[in-house]
Amino acid sequence: MSLDFYGTSVQSRLLLGTSLYPSPAIMLESLKASGAQIATVSLRRESGTERAGQAFWSLIKESGVRVLPNTAGCKTVKEAVTTAQMARELFDTPWVKLEVIGEDDTLQPDVFGLVEAARILCSEGFEVFPYTTEDLVVAEKLLAAGCEVLMPWGAPIGSGRGLNNLYGLRSLRAHFPKVPLVVDAGIGLPSHAAQAMELGYDAILLNTAVAKAGDPVAMARAFAAAIEAGRTAFEAEPIETRDMAAPSTPVAGTPFWNN
């Protein structure tokens, strides 16, 4: 079943970043191997006035993926809004992955600034993908601001730690069953991605785990398979966990021997 973001349907549930790869060629091969139809691009990497930036943008267009511009590194509302406005002109899309960073060591979102920036951008016609925490109150405020997608972190960006707060992520999914939820940041292994999908999340956004792998192309392929497996498992309705054993072999009809 396809996934819908602001009226746009995609088949792949893997969104892939475009930074940190050993080379542009490996980035393109990884995008292809992943099957991703959406790629994030930071305006700080791209420049409409620099040849390198224009060449990079040409490569992305040739890949055929849909671009999700990113306000990566922005620390204030004004900076994030201005970056988003520039990205809309450069990439010709209303989509923006909104980041407002509040803490340097963990790159945790400034949720107060995030909500304010989201409200401004939504009022200007942007279709905002907010990088947020798993906080339910923040989620409510982002939705009220006009966001139709939420992108909670699994762990700090680039940490590879996986899902740090399973309770919080489960609660977020349960509270917003109809809202597209994308785990963004902290995923390090395909098993982490599969776990998030098994919780009922709709998609995974990756960058570092693929780009910095020993073989990015093979890792992209592995993540694609894990995400598909996790989603299939969720839709198959897994058994509930138990504290005690439950026999899988039927007892009825089994002969019992007396000594």
Q: How far is CA 140 from the centre of its chain?
A: 19
82 marked as binding residue: no
Q: Which DSSP string do the residues of 116-142 spell out, in sequence order?
A: HHHHHHHHTT-EEEEEE-S-HHHHHHH
Active site residue 178: no
Residue 207, marked binder: yes
Q: 235 is written with which tokens?
A: 């839709």
Distance CA 57, CA 46 (A): 7
Q: Hey, which residues does 255 pair with through a beta bridge?
A: none
**How far, in Å, CA of 34 to CA of 63, rounded?**
12
Q: Which of 32, 75, 78, 97 is catalytic?
A: 97
Q: Please check if 158 is assigned to a binding site.
A: yes
User: Nearest-5° angle of CA 180, CA 195, CA 135?
Assistant: 50
Buried b / exposed e over 98-125, threshold 16 CB at 10 Å, is: bbbbeeeeebbbbbebbbbbbbbbbeee
Binding residues for 1-deoxy-D-xylulose 5-phosphate are 158, 185-186, 207-208
> Mind telling me the catalytic residues?
97
Binding residues are 158, 185-186, 207-208
